[in-house]
Structure 1
Amino acid sequence: MPPAVTEEYKKKKKKQILESALFCFAEKGFQVATIDDIVRHSGISKGAIYNYFKSKEDIYIELLNENSNKSFEKLRDKLATFLTAKERLTHLFEVFRSQVKVNDNWEKTSRVHIEFWLSSNRNEDTKAFMYDRYQNVYKKIVTDIVEFGVMNGEISTTADVDFVGTIFWSTFDGICFYQCVMENDSLYVRLVDHLEKVMLDLLELQ
């Protein structure tokens, strides 16, 4: 009778698969990397990988949930400690501005995320997942700040909250895309600084 597989063992194997997948996705690109690449890098058989994940897309979604859910939860908790919308927005920009300094994998994970976002359009289920995540995780981190500012009188009640969130992410995603291609840290910081000024001016937060 084979030995029982513990939950700790499963957790360790799953983590190993995810780490290898991120390496392969970053090295070759999401579209080019294959399950076989993950097998070679991880040393885990294809059958074992499929015991944990249904597909390459499933692996990436798990990576997205594992990495960004924790960081966004931590960010939301920190933002809640600031008493004004301006302070919250300023801290948000400081977090994004510092990524090139404090996160060695930032550019790799950003490249994979951008590529996956673009490729998700070809699959309705994945497209729906990414749209929901964009609306309820990414955009919400900004719209919550704006709504907080409206509630406490810092920001005009006429502010188009959803549009502000869209402006932020469409511009910031463009900055990230440029950074992934050019790898110019100082220009990245300058662009984020400028976006911060634009957002503060737009919301009349002086």
Structure 2
Amino acid sequence: MAISRCAEEKRTSAEDKREKSRRCIMEASLELFYENGYQKTTIRDIIKRAGILNGSLYNRFKSKEEILLNIVTDMLNATLSECETLLKNERDMVVVTILPTALEVYISSRSPKAADLMYEVHRLWSTVNEYTKMNIDWMRRYFDKYGVTITDTLDAEISYLMLLGSVGNICGYYANGGDIDFRKILHHMASHVAMEFKLPMFDINSTIDKVMSIVEKCHIVLYEDGLDLTGVVENSDALVSIH
């Protein structure tokens, strides 16, 4: 039976309301994570900042960890979607494989507070597990274009878990005042990825140049109305980018 226009409008309105509430919770959470730190922010703080009832939050998120996961994965997915155009003719498999984790490190190198959030993400198994799936799906999609098949998914997952562990430590390094140049970190990451995934890399400097060019062109926002890292001054704690 066909759905009436009135019923369709009500359903759309309900979905819009739910999404608006979800966004409000994520924006309030991001503000508090930056002001007070992730560990010191409570669900009670988020509910108060968002101006909602307990039930409204728990109808959309099971925990503070899930809120953080949604904030960061939404950002990464949106940024990677933007990268699709920049990767249209890219044939370097190391560039494609390293890009998601390179974005995390780039974000962390630009702001200690952003780095602290990324570090927290890597301390939670639920987010690490989600990251692993997201990265494997990303890699598989591009490898298919190159005619390369990932035959051992478990082996690929282990390799990515090892890579993500290293990336988490680098995020922690930047969160605690580290200032090693992003390009130097990228050099180590590219070498690790090429070796771990057995990918050809004939000129590491060319590979790094490509990754640098892509991440610097991306419009990176931790959440749509939240932290914009495009052009942020290094070590800035500002919530909004400085252009």
TM-score of the aligned structures, taking structure 1 as reference length: 0.63
Equivalent of 1:114 in 119, 123, 138: 119
Note the C-alpha offset of 1:15. Answer: 0.9
Equivalent of 1:136 in 111, 133, 137: 133
Work out whether 1:188 is the aligned partner of 2:188: no
SS in 2 for 1:83: coil
Equivalent of 2:201 in 179, 183, 205: 205
The residue number in structure 1 matching 2:172 is 177
Work out whether 1:56 is the aligned partner of 2:64: yes
The residue number in structure 2 matching 1:99 is 107
The residue number in structure 1 matching 2:16 is 8
SS in 2 for 1:190: helix
Structure 2 runs not aligned, ≥5 long: 1-9, 150-154, 203-243
Is the CA contact 1:39–1:46 (under 8 Å) kept in the aligned structure 2?
yes
Q: Distance in 2 between matches of 1:59 and 1:177?
A: 20
Distance 1:77 1:162, change over 3 A: farther
Note the C-alpha offset of 1:117. Answer: 4.0
Residues 79-100 of structure 1: per-residue CA shift (max 9 Å, x gap): 4531342553576687566536
Distance 1:56 1:167, change over 3 A: closer
Q: Distance in 1 between matches of 2:78 and 2:101?
A: 18
Which one-letter code corresponds to 2:51 in the other structure? G
Is the CA contact 2:116–2:175 (under 8 Å) kept in the aligned structure 1?
yes
- Among all aligned residue pairs of Structure 1 and Structure 2, give the percentage whose two residues are the same amino acid: 19
Which one-letter code corresponds to 1:111 in the other structure? D
The residue number in structure 1 matching 2:47 is 39
TM-score of the aligned structures, taking structure 2 as reference length: 0.55
Distance 1:201 1:38, change over 3 A: closer
- Which is helix-richer, 1 or 2? 1
Structure 1 runs not aligned, ≥5 long: 121-126, 153-159
